[in-house]
Structure formats: C-alpha cells, structure tokens
C-alpha cells in the first residue's frame, strides 16, 4: 500500500498515521523526520539541507524529493509506505508523480481528513493549554490554516482529478475515523494481486503442491522449469542452450528466465495473483522479481517454504529418477547432490532475506500429499485474510 495522508493542522494526522502504520505494517514517512535523520547522519543530502537550514532558508524541493527517493527505495518500503503530510504543494505532487513513474510504481490513494477551520482552531487551542507549544496560539494557528488552504488544497484537487482521492470526516471521533480508514485501505487491498513464492529443496513437492494451490486459490502458476521445458520441447535456440546447461547440471542464466516471466506477467489478464515456483533461486533473482512485480504495480504477498529432511529428499529424487517424471538433474546421484548443494548455497540466503523482510511461512513437507497441501492451504488462507 502506497498512501498519502493529508489534513489541516489539528485534524489528527499524527494519531491516524500511527494507527495505519501499525495496523498494516508499513513505515510512516514524514519529510521533517527524514530531514532531521539525514542531517544527523551527515549524508550528502543531509549536509546540503543543513547548509540551507542554517542560512534560514526553506529546504528546496530538489532536496526533499531526493530524500523521498532514498527513503522509499529502502527494503522496509517494499510492501508500501505512508506519506504523512507530503506532498504539501501542487509542484511537489507533480514531482512525486514523476518519481513514482520512474520507479515503475504508483500511489494507491490519498486519504484526506476533513475538519472545519473553527474545529481545527478549537482543538489546537485546547492542545496549547497543556502542550506548552508556542505555536499553539490563535494567531499562529490561523496563519498555518491559511497556508494549508493556499498550498495544500490544490494537492487534494490534483489527486481528486487522478481518481485516487478519498475524504474522511475527521470530526466523528478517533475510533470512527480508524474504522473508516481501515475500510478504505481494505477496499484498496481487495484490488491487489496476491502473489506467493513457493520455496523448497528439489524433491520437496513444490511442483505438485504449487499447481494444486493455484487451482484452489485461483492463482496463475508460474514455474520456470515448465517454461524452460516448453522451450526445449519447441526445439528453439533457447531450448538447445537450456538442454546443454541441464546436461552440465548448471542453472539457466537470468536473462532467459526473466524474459519468460516478464511475458507471463504481461499476458496474464484478470488473475487474482501468481504463485511462483523455481524463481527466485538467487539473491540477484529476488531483486529481479521484486522489480518485475513493482513494474506491474504489485508485490510479494506471502513466502512459503516446504521443509523436508535431506535423506528424505534424496530418497524421493532417487525414486523419481526411475519414473517418467524424471528431471534432467535426477539422472545420477552426483547431479542430485550438486542440485541440493546449489540450493543450499544460493537459494537458502534468498529465503533468509525474505524472512527478514516479510517473514516466511515454514511448512512441514513430510506426509501424504493431502496432509502437506492442507498445511500450506491453511497458511495461505490466513495470508489472504490478513491482506484483506
């Protein structure tokens, strides 16, 4: 969720911003906080901002948007963020729109807390009685409201014209505003694709489970192996390259895999989401997938790892090598061991990365197909509920 929260002084933005970020697990982004953090850290932009601030001038939009770009490209913003009080001007709205396009993403909605001027004055005057803040006096308050009306109301019209503006009555009480905002965000989440990445060592059952889960939840199954096999079956030049790599027990290079996934994402219409099996296998591929999904206005919703003991994996793969379902890397013990080792060294770090960013649902993969399927399905159902 990529949100903007605006409202006049005294509308309760701070309270509602804290609520939204805690409820939906996204970071709160305030230009003031970013400026202070950058100055304290002594970053290049922070030093530039400090020089301007020390001179008594206002920090320019070029510095502000630079800080915004740095902030929203950090890992904790992967699943969204909330702009608190930004953009403040029509020009900043245009600049932010350009930045979103450059990053191949977009805002979901702007939530505007509507409070009449006299109510804002009353609230801030009451706060001034206990806060001791020098700016909580009527003269300063009315000047701040005048500036909001002159500079920020045009921003609301900008997003109203884009069709992503939602107004919330800020006079109905904190809890009622909470409920209304929750309803708005859940409606937005209902439009979002549910994307699952299914991890597990070769032999863990990802393929059969992934197909069954896709059918149950109405997701598009994206299996790099199947797409690569189709290239081989079609005897394309790419397919011949893939065959040679398989014979050597090597992974297929990213440029081949990415082109196939990009095509799949672009041509799949009216789907609820995707379930990825066999990709990403490396840290580089994980960043590629994040970028591909972001380009299509989406993100990873859930990570699932099927856990099976090593000896059981070897037993399964050895049995599969004697069937029609034998994979190219099942044909000898040395190839099986090499493939398991590659997963250990290249894919396990990817799972660790996602566990840190999103959390990974770990599923016991030992048991019958139906038993394992039921465990995974229960976890995905919970994921659907929490997203909605």
- Judged against a pLDDT cut of 60, whether residue 388 lies above it is answered with no
- Tokens 């409606």, residue? 187
- Please report, for residues 167, 271, 334, 335, the alpha-carbon distance to residue 157 in angstroms, rounded to integers and kept in the order given: 11, 32, 65, 62
pLDDT band at 167 (very low <50, low <70, confident <90, very high): very high
What is the arithmetic mean of pLDDT over 167-188? Answer: 90
pLDDT band at 206 (very low <50, low <70, confident <90, very high): very high
> What CA–CA distance (Å, rounded) separates 216 from 230?
24
Residue 13 near residue 150, CB atoms below 8 Å? no
Residue 196 near residue 276, CB atoms below 8 Å? yes
Predicted pLDDT at 141: 84
pLDDT band at 134 (very low <50, low <70, confident <90, very high): low
Greatest Cα-to-Cα distance within the chain, rounded to the nearest angstrom:
84
- Judged against a pLDDT cut of 80, whether residue 297 lies above it is answered with no
> What CA–CA distance (Å, rounded) separates 278 from 350?
12
Task: List, in order of start, the domains of the chain with CATH numbers.
Answer: 2-26+79-189 (3.40.50.300), 196-387 (3.40.50.300)
Residue-averaged pLDDT of the chain: 87
Predicted pLDDT at 48: 87
- Tokens 């993403």, residue? 105
- Judged against a pLDDT cut of 80, whether residue 314 lies above it is answered with yes
pLDDT tens digits for range 207-246: 999 999 999 998 999 998 788 888 899 888 888 888 888 8
* 339 membership: H or E segment, kind and range: helix 333-342
The catalytic site residues sit at: 13, 88, 127, 133, 144
More confident residue, 183 or 331: 183
> What proportion of the chain, given as a percentage, has pLDDT over 70?
94
Q: What are phi and psi of 220, to 5 degrees?
A: -85, 125
What is the arithmetic mean of pLDDT over 332-360? Answer: 88
Residue 228 three-state SS: helix
Predicted pLDDT at 3: 94
- Tokens 């030992």, residue? 366
- Judged against a pLDDT cut of 90, whether residue 294 lies above it is answered with no
What is the arithmetic mean of pLDDT over 128-145? Answer: 75
Predicted pLDDT at 4: 94
Enumerate the β-bridge partners of residue 302: 196
How many other β-carbons are positioned within 10 Å of the β-carbon of residue 121? 19
Question: Which residues neighbour 181 within 8 Å (Cβ) at sequence distance 6 or greater?
Answer: 16, 19, 20, 111, 168
Predicted pLDDT at 229: 85
What is the arithmetic mean of pLDDT over 124-136? Answer: 71
pLDDT band at 111 (very low <50, low <70, confident <90, very high): very high
> What CA–CA distance (Å, rounded) separates 184 from 189?
9
Please say whether the dihedral angle defined by the alpha carbons of residues 285, 289, 294 and 296, taken in this order, is positive or negative: positive
CA-atom Rg of the chain in angstroms: 26
More confident residue, 59 or 305: 305
What is the arithmetic mean of pLDDT over 255-268? Answer: 85
> What CA–CA distance (Å, rounded) separates 302 from 296?
17
Does this model's pTM top 0.85? Answer: no
- Judged against a pLDDT cut of 60, whether residue 114 lies above it is answered with yes
Predicted pLDDT at 128: 73
Output the CA angle 18-21-24, nearest 5 degrees: 140
pLDDT tens digits for range 32-51: 888 888 888 888 888 888 88
């Amino acid at each position: 969720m990529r949100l903007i929260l605006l409202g006049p002084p005294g509308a309760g933005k701070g309270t509602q911003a804290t609520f939204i970020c805690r409820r939906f697990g996204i970071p709160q982004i305030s230009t003031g906080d970013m400026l202070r953090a950058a100055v304290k850290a002594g970053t290049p932009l922070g030093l530039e901002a400090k020089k301007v601030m020390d001179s008594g001038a206002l920090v320019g939009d070029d510095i502000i948007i630079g800080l915004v770009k740095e902030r929203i490209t950090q890992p904790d913003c992967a699943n969204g963020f909330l702009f608190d009080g930004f953009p403040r001007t029509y020009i900043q709205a245009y600049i932010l729109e350009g930045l979103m396009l450059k990053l191949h993403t977009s805002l979901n909605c702007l939530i505007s807390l509507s409070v009449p001027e006299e109510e804002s004055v009353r609230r801030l005057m009451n706060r001034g009685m206990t806060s001791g803040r020098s700016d909580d006096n009527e003269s300063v308050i009315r000047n701040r409201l005048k500036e909001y009306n002159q500079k920020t109301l045009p921003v609301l019209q900008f997003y109203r014209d884009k069709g992503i503006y939602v107004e919330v009555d800020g006079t109905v009480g904190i809890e009622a505003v909470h409920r209304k905002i929750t309803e708005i965000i859940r409606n937005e989440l209902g439009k979002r694709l549910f994307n699952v990445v299914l991890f597990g060592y070769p032999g863990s059952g990802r393929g059969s489970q992934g197909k069954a889960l896709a059918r149950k939840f109405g997701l598009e199954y994206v299996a790099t192996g199947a797409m690569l096999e189709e290239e081989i079956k079609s005897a394309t030049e790419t397919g011949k390259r893939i065959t040679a790599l398989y014979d050597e027990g090597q992974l297929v290079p990213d440029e081949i895999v990415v082109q196939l996934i990009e095509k799949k994402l672009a041509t799949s219409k009216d789907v609820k989401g995707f379930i990825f099996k066999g990709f990403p296998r490396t840290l580089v591929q994980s960043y590629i997938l994040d970028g591909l999904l972001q380009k299509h206005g989406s993100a990873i919703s859930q990570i699932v790892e099927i856990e099976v003991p090593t000896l059981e994996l070897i037993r399964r793969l050895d049995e599969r090598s004697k069937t029609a379902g034998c994979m190219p890397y099942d044909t000898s013990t040395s190839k099986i061991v090499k493939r398991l080792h590659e997963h250990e060294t290249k894919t396990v770090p990817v799972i660790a990365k996602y566990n840190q960013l999103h959390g990974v649902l770990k599923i016991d993969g030992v048991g019958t197909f139906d038993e394992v399927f039921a465990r995974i399905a229960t976890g995905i159902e919970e994921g659907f509920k929490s997203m909605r």
